Amino acid sequence: MTIEKFVVTADQMRQIETRIFAAGMPVSALMEKVAGLLARRIQALLKSEGSSATDCITDLTDLTDLTDRRKRGEGKKIVNLQLPVIGVLVGPGHNGGDALVVARELHFQGFPVFVYCPFSKLK
């Protein structure tokens, strides 16, 4: 199977989305689908670089005693310390929504995720 790579302009993307939504796909369903595909692609790229999901931390709220708590195995493991921290820049509009869903999916997979949203108001 051959995968074509192509780039569209913002106007072309709006036209594509308009047709998709007119066909009955809800915005949230498209957002989940696209974000899921992006998260899986990011995971595949990181895995090919040798990252693995093994050593996890227990809590994101207090990192001061992280090493001791990890050694004791306290709490539910939710974030992998051996994986790279993934930064997600969140813009306004649907792309920002896509970015948030990608960040959520990567977090659920154990990646440490940093989300930055420099906009005071989202659409």
pLDDT of residue 79: 55
> Could you give the CA distance from residue 12 to residue 10 in angstroms, rounded to a whole number?
5
pTM: 0.64
- The domain limits of the chain are 10-116
Q: Which of 101, 106, 99 is nearest to 78 (CA)?
A: 106
Region of poorest pLDDT, from 42-46, 86-90, 93-97 = 93-97
| Token pair recorded at residue 29 | 């369903």
Span 36-79, pLDDT tens digits: 899 999 888 887 766 544 444 434 444 444 445 545 555 445 55
Average pLDDT, whole number, for the chain?
76
Alpha helices in the chain (DSSP H): 10-22, 27-48, 66-72, 93-108
Asked if 117 and 97 touch (Cβ cutoff 8 Å), the reply is: no
